[in-house]
Copies of this chain bind each other. A is one copy, B any other.
Amino acid sequence: MPLPTLTTPTIDDIHAAAARIAAVAVRTPLMESPYLNDAVGGRLLIKAEPLQRTGSFKFRGAYNTISQLPENIQKNGVVAFSSGNHAQGVAAAAQLHDIPAVIVMPEDAPALKVANTRGYGAEVVLYDRYSQDREVIGAAIADERGLSLIKPYDDPRIIAGQGTLGLEIVEQIDTPPAQVLGPCGGGGLISGTAIAIKDSFPDANVYAVEPEEFDDTARSLREGVRQEIDPHASSICDSLMPPTPGELTFAVNRKLLAGGLVVSDAQVREAMRQAFLRLKLVVEPGGAVALAAALTGAVTCRNRTTVVVCSGGNVDSTTFAEILNAS
Contacts and interface: CB of A to CB of B under 8 A. Distances in A.
Interface in A257-289: 273, 276-277, 279-283
Contacts of A112: 277
Interface string A27-61: 01101001100000000000010110101000000
A324 B320 contact: yes
A273 B177 CA distance: 35
Contact of A280 (B29, B31, B273, B282): B282
Contact of A277 (B92, B273, B280, B317): B317
A317 B276 contact: yes
A327 interface: yes
Nearest to A27: B29
Interface in A85-113: 92, 112
A4 interface: no
Contact of A50 (B34, B280, B283): B280
Interface in A311-326: 313, 317-318, 320-322, 324-325
Given A26-B31, A273-B317, 9 more contacts: A31-B51, A34-B53, A50-B280, A280-B283, A280-B313, A317-B325, A317-B327, A321-B324, A321-B325
Interface of A: 26, 28-29, 31, 34-35, 48, 50-51, 53, 55, 92, 112, 119, 273, 276-277, 279-283, 313, 317-318, 320-322, 324-325, 327
